[in-house]
Amino acid sequence: MHPFVTRRQVLLGGGLALLGAQRAALALESDDSGLARIARTNGLFYGAAVNSAPLTASDFSKAVIRDADVIVPEWEMKWGAIEKVRGDRQYGTSQRIVHFAKAHGLSVRGHALVWHRNIPAWAVEALNNKEYAVMQRHVRSMVANFGAVRDWDVVNEAIEPTHDRSDNLRRSPFLTALGPDYIGEAFRSARAESPGARLVYNDFGFEYEIDTHRARRRALIRLLERLKTTSVPIDAVGLQAHLVTRGLKFDPAAYAAFLKEIADLDLKIIITELDIQDTDLPASIGERDRILADETGRYLDAVLAQPAVIGVVTWGLSDRHTWLNSDPKAKRPDGLPSRPLPLDDRMERKPMWSAIANAFRNAPERS
Ligand code: G3I
């Protein structure tokens, strides 16, 4: 035994080498075991956000069919995309996504019915003119038109503790026009139109040990308690999980406690928009991908330990289409393209893909 190397170091060295080898092996997994198939072995689902135009590219459509069993319109089911002109509801492009799903045995998550962004200008005006019914009409028209959609983000991003309201709600045209009960009204409208669909409240900013995220965790739990005690028909919570690598602390125990609070309200949980920003990471692709995979794996290991978590959706599948490379606020300062998703821009699997596959494999089986 080398005098400077303890038994523990040998084991550790061996262990790490093995881990590296396992990861490498995972990356070379046979083609047909996509992420969705691996997730299903433990009763979970995997999905990705898509836009209709990229689905016409064969390499991307093949990758979606291989890896996902759920797809989510990233933009085309939003009110601003559907009804730019009042009364002229355009379902064309979002319907293409639904048809693609149907053709390939995938299911669709609807996103998002009531959101403070992408509200058509005429609807903002109508809400300001106290035309209360425009929101309910939109919710019912969407749910009725997309009968095949069995899972809806009914209300998106309605909490904002920095808006200084005692109920921590975000100030929006919906809140101004309809008051806090607009949230309940949206869920009741969706339930009335589709009694069997899963109705979800979706939001962001809960992952890290910073004051804003702690305040948002508390605000979310308070909102969910209010909705449950007033019998609002909510079935699940969507946690967007737009992760970052800015050295913010992720505490698996604190996050597990937060997830348990949601589960104790008899609500399911979906990770709805997972991606991971690499703006603060070095340019080296190898180093970036390794750190992004480790962070993603650590997050999902903590999340999937909670049995109320039923599935994971990444906000895109390939770096080729990520919003993070088109959003001026999210771009890398060095101008290099971000790498926040499981597949690279040539649809090749990245270490992040293996980290997600691993987390699904290690997850407790859902009954
Ligand atoms: O495709 C149209 C194009 O036809 C039109 O000419 C152009 C000019 O308006 O807009 C293009 O649409 C853009 C669309 O993305 C498709 O790329 C919209 O401008 C742009 O606003 C839209 O951005 C989306 C954003 O939400 C706003 O809806 C992003 O792709 C999408 O990733 C982002 O997703 C949000 C979630 O819904 C909620 N959580 C946060 C997440 C990231 O911001």
**What does the pLDDT look like over 70-122, one tens digit per residue?**
999 999 999 999 999 999 999 999 999 999 999 999 999 999 999 999 999 99
Q: Contact, 226 vs 299, CB < 8 A?
A: no
Q: How confident is the model at residue 298 (pLDDT cuts 50, 70, 90)?
A: very high
Q: Which residue has the higher pLDDT, 8 or 255?
A: 255
**Is 74 near ligand 1, meaning CB less than 6 Å away?**
yes
How far apart, in whole angstroms, are the C-alpha atoms of residue 307 and residue 133?
Answer: 38
Question: Mean pLDDT over all residues of the chain?
Answer: 93
Q: Contact, 331 vs 324, CB < 8 A?
A: yes
Q: Does 275 score more than 70 pLDDT?
A: yes
- Of the candidates 195, 94, 164, 175, the one whose C-alpha atom is nearest the C-alpha of residue 135 is 175
**What does the pLDDT look like over 200-210, one tens digit per residue?**
999 999 999 99
Tokens 């669709």 correspond to 108
Q: Which residue has the higher pLDDT, 18 or 94?
A: 94
- pLDDT value of residue 133: 93
**Is 75 near ligand 1, meaning CB less than 6 Å away?**
yes
**Cα 358 to chain center, whole Å?**
19
Q: Does 11 score more than 60 pLDDT?
A: no
Q: How confident is the model at residue 247 (pLDDT cuts 50, 70, 90)?
A: confident
**What does the pLDDT look like over 310-344, one tens digit per residue?**
999 999 999 999 999 999 889 899 999 999 999 99
**Is 240 near ligand 1, meaning CB less than 6 Å away?**
yes
Q: In the structure encoding, which two tokens stand for residue 55, read together?
A: 């689905």
How far apart, in whole angstroms, are the C-alpha atoms of residue 221 and residue 352?
Answer: 30
Ligand 1 centre and the CA of 30: distance in Å? 34
Ligand 1 centre and the CA of 208: distance in Å? 25
**What does the pLDDT look like over 47-80, one tens digit per residue?**
999 999 999 999 999 999 999 999 999 999 999 9
How far apart, in whole angstroms, are the C-alpha atoms of residue 62 and residue 84?
Answer: 32
- pLDDT value of residue 97: 98
Please tell me the residue having the least CA distance from ligand 1 atom 3.
81
- Of the candidates 238, 236, 253, 343, the one whose C-alpha atom is nearest the C-alpha of residue 298 is 253
Q: How confident is the model at residue 6 (pLDDT cuts 50, 70, 90)?
A: very low
Q: How confident is the model at residue 132 (pLDDT cuts 50, 70, 90)?
A: confident
Ligand 1 centre and the CA of 151: distance in Å? 21
Please tell me the residue having the least CA distance from ligand 1 atom 9.
81
Q: How confident is the model at residue 20 (pLDDT cuts 50, 70, 90)?
A: low
φ and ψ of 90, to 5 deg: -105, 105
73-98 burial, b at 16+ Cβ within 10 Å, e below that, comes to: bbbbbbbebbbeeeeeeebebbbbbb
- pLDDT value of residue 314: 98
Ligand 1 centre and the CA of 80: distance in Å? 10
How far apart, in whole angstroms, are the C-alpha atoms of residue 199 and residue 224?
Answer: 13
Q: In the structure encoding, which two tokens stand for residue 185, read together?
A: 């009204």
Q: Does 211 score more than 90 pLDDT?
A: yes
Ligand 1 centre and the CA of 77: distance in Å? 11
SS3 at position 244: coil
SS3 at position 265: coil
Taking 3-state DSSP, the helix, strand and coil percentages for the chain, each rounded to the nearest 5, stand at 45, 15, 40
How far apart, in whole angstroms, are the C-alpha atoms of residue 264 and residue 230?
Answer: 16
- pLDDT value of residue 166: 97
How far apart, in whole angstroms, are the C-alpha atoms of residue 163 and residue 216?
Answer: 12
Q: In the structure encoding, which two tokens stand for residue 347, read together?
A: 């649809």
How far apart, in whole angstroms, are the C-alpha atoms of residue 164 and residue 85?
Answer: 34
Mean pLDDT of 117-134: 94
Ligand 1 centre and the CA of 275: distance in Å? 16
How far apart, in whole angstroms, are the C-alpha atoms of residue 261 and residue 200?
Answer: 16
**Is 146 near ligand 1, meaning CB less than 6 Å away?**
no
> CA dist 87 to 10, 57, 156, 264, Å?
70, 32, 23, 42
Mean pLDDT of 14-35: 57
